[in-house]
Structure 1
Amino acid sequence: MKRLYNMISDTQFSICKCKHKYKKLLYSLCFFHAILIERKKFQQLGWNVVYSFNDSDFEVSENLLSIYLDEYRDTPWDALKYLIAGICYGGHVTDDWDRRLLTTYINRLSALPTYFIPTDTEIENYREFINTLPAIDHPNAFGQHPNADTTSLMIDTRILCETLMSLQVTSSDASGESKEVKVMALADDVLNKVPEPINYELTERHIGPRKTPLDVVLLQEISRYNVLLIKMEKSLVDLKKGIQGFIVMSSELEEIFTCIYDGRVPSMWLKAYPSLKTLGSWTYDLVLRVQHFSKWATKLKPPLLFWLSAFTFPTGFLTAVLQVVNISTFNNRIH
């Protein structure tokens, strides 16, 4: 808001004929713009889609505000709100729920007593009033739960740590080992630990044509893990070739190189299932997951205990369990 008021000149602030309305509505418009911009810090909790609201939206809205106040004796509030929220800012919005949120913001300033429209005064007084506002905005100012602020701070902390790690000197470590040598050793270690893909065709042939819902889930999980294992092996082999100079290092290989050196899991490996583990823990966990489904595929009999978090799509597994129970109940009633 401070930046927006610094953009407005004294002449622009006093050019509107209906000064009393203009000053209050301009403050509301600045607050509205600031809310939309700052809400991005909550990531998916803020907007379902990231939108590029910018100063041009504010400038056009401010011009509309000034024109409508000058041209009409009775201010057409509905038309003005529609043009600002529905056209100027709403032109960026593609999600229906985000559009609904935008409409809510244009109809209500804030529920907190800290944020209110100051009395009719000069532009310098408005700037001074904005300086008295809290430096850290409470989540309620955005209509958010306090937990949303915790999530935002965690994301900011992770970005800060990743940035600091990327800025560290990486020519060699304390033992004099170069970065490339260390990554090569880690890549070999991961390659040696990663198990072979489960034989999907053999498992499907042993199951036969009459598949139970749990058999379908097993085959789906095997397929997803096989894709991950093959992708990991190929990317690690290509990474080693890239380090040795046999192939060109692509952007994906550069990311894998950096992640392995930092002990993080590359993003392309996390498409099968999300995880916050470090690379070593994640690799060990992956081996256990594959072993779980490999034993199931070998015995062709569901285990007595299911490792729910090992499923890449646990909802499908729970649905299959319900189907098995329903089929069993139906058969018992028939007999």
Structure 2
Amino acid sequence: QERKQYGPLGWNIPYEFNLSDLNISMKQLQMFLNDYSEIPFNALIYLTGECNYGGRVTDDKDRRLMVSLLKNYYNSKVVLDDKYSFSPSKIYHITENTSLQGIQAYIQSLPLNNTPEIFGLHDNADLAKNVNETRRVLGNILLTAAMSSESKGGDVEAKNIQIIDELIDKFPPQFDQEAAAKKYPIIYEQSMNTVLKQELIRYNRLTGAIKKSLGEDRKAVKGFIVMTAEMEEVNTSILFGKIPRSWASKSYPSLKQI
């Protein structure tokens, strides 16, 4: 659960691992330790990385990452090396005193605040986490301010309509794909013309989706159609000059605001 505060950092795709994945992996580890004279590390890595946790992993690179992480814990050095450490700082290691009192004493000696290295992350992961938390807090403050302004009789709807109208007026016309195809035909000698055609299609699709979203949003603010959750998110975002999520999912990567 503590790993969740760093979000999907380190993974290509966010995954929702849960306690059942941990429990089945622990039971399998206990079973192999009790029933086999030699620990089958490869089998443990496969079951944990490909079946238990890996059953949720869809990205090939993420699966490779998971197997690499497991090899830090499922290997012969853990058993043979009394000073084997799970982290570069040597803070997290196997205690030599394996009695109940010894394990309790070791747990008490661990830092109260976990550093990113316990999760296999670089120290800079804290910076990314803090930046995301700050953005979330500031976003909630802005949202609260907007709701407070609305409750005091502020004309938020009129402001939204004004912004929508300004965006629609500034909207560039779509590219003429037929004219571009005649001027830049797709031929063997001009391979970049294929890229140009694909970019024109994608750009026209993006501008068309945004313009349609603005038109529907304007009707919803006016009360002509039902306001959906996506439209509310668009309203709030454009009010603060942010890119709505529904637009960003269809857009090019960019750090610019509206």
| Same fold flag (TM > 0.5) | yes
Q: What letter is aligned with 2:144?
A: L
Greater relative contact order (CA < 8 Å, ≥ 6 in sequence): 1
Are the structure 2 counterparts of residues 204 and 81 from structure 1 closer, same or farther at C-alpha, using a change threshold of 3 Å?
Answer: closer
- 3-state DSSP class of the match of 1:170? helix
When Rg is computed on C-alpha atoms for both structures, the one with the higher figure is 1
Q: Deviations over 1:66-117 (max 9, x none)?
A: 3333334544444444433443323323333323322222232423211112
1:41 aligns with 2:33: no
Pair 269,92 (structure 1): closer, same or farther in 2 beyond 3 Å: closer
Structure 2 residue aligned with 1:160, among 134, 137, 143?
Answer: 137
Aligned partners of 2:6 and 2:125 also within 8 Å? no
Give 1:139 deviation, angstroms: 3.9
> CA offset at residue 242 of structure 1?
0.6
Give the alignment partner of residue 273 of structure 1, picking from 222, 229, 252: 252
SS of 2:55's equivalent in the other structure is coil
Structure 1 match to 2:154: 177
What letter matches 1:233 in structure 2? K
Aligned counterpart in structure 2 of residue 111 of structure 1, from 69, 81, 87: 87
Contact 1:171-1:179 at 8 Å conserved across structures = no
Distance 2:180 2:215 in 1: 27
More helix by share: 1
Q: Hey, what's the Cα distance between the residues in 2 that align with 1:100 and 1:38?
A: 19
In structure 2, C-alpha distance between the alignment counterparts of 1:240 and 1:75, rounded to whole Å: 65
Equivalent pairs: percent with the same residue? 35
8 A Cα contact 2:5 2:129, kept in partner = no
Q: Report deviation, 1:273.
A: 1.1
Give secondary structure in 2 for the equivalent of 1:277: coil
Q: Structure 1's 171 and 165: CA in aligned 2 closer, same or farther, altered over 3 A?
A: closer
What one-letter code is carried by the residue in structure 2 that aligns with 1:263? G
* In structure 1, distance between residues paired with 2:164 and 2:233: 13
1:106 maps to a residue whose letter is L
TM-score, normalization by structure 1: 0.60
1:251 aligns with 2:229: yes
CA spacing shift, 1:51–1:267, aligned 2, 3 Å: closer
Which residue identity lines up with residue 158 of structure 2 in the other structure?
A: V
Q: Which amino acid aligns with 2:52?
A: C
Could you say if the C-alpha distance between residues 57 and 247 of structure 1 is closer, same or farther in structure 2, counting changes exceeding 3 Å?
A: same
Q: 1:213 to 1:171 in 2, by over 3 A?
A: same
Q: CA deviation at 1:259?
A: 0.8
CA distance in 1, matches of 2:57, 2:104: 30
* Residue pairs, 1:25-104, within 5 angstroms: 38=3, 41=6, 43=8, 45-104=9-68
Contact 2:184 2:193 in 1 (8 A): no
Q: Which residue of 2 aligns with 1:14?
A: none
RMSD: 3.2
- Matched-pair contact (CA < 8 Å) for 2:186–2:194: no
Post-superposition CA distance 1:100-142 (Å, at most 9, x none): 32222223242321111222122x7645643543344444444
Asked whether the 8 Å contact 2:24–2:52 carries over to 1, the reply is yes
Superposed displacement of residue 171, structure 1? 4.7
Q: Decide whether the 8 Å contact of 1:171 with 1:178 is kept in 2.
A: no
Contact 1:265 1:278 (8 Å CA) reproduced: yes
Contact 2:15–2:57 (CA under 8 A) maintained in structure 1: yes
Cα distance, 1:215 vs structure 2: 4.7
Deviation, 1:238, is: 1.0
Q: Which runs of 5+ in 1 are unaligned?
A: 1-33, 280-335
Per the alignment, do residues 134 and 196 of structure 1 end up closer, same or farther by CA in structure 2, a change over 3 Å counting?
Answer: same
- C-alpha distance in 2 between matches for 1:262 and 1:168: 11
| Amino acid across the alignment from 1:83 | L
Question: Does the 8 Å contact 2:116/2:126 carry over to 1?
Answer: yes
One-letter amino acid of the structure 1 residue matched with residue 219 of structure 2: K
1:255 deviates by 1.7
Distance 1:89 1:234, change over 3 A: closer
Q: CA deviation at 1:149?
A: 4.1
Question: Are 1:193 and 2:158 counterparts?
Answer: no
Distance change in 2, residues 1:147/1:180 (3 Å): same
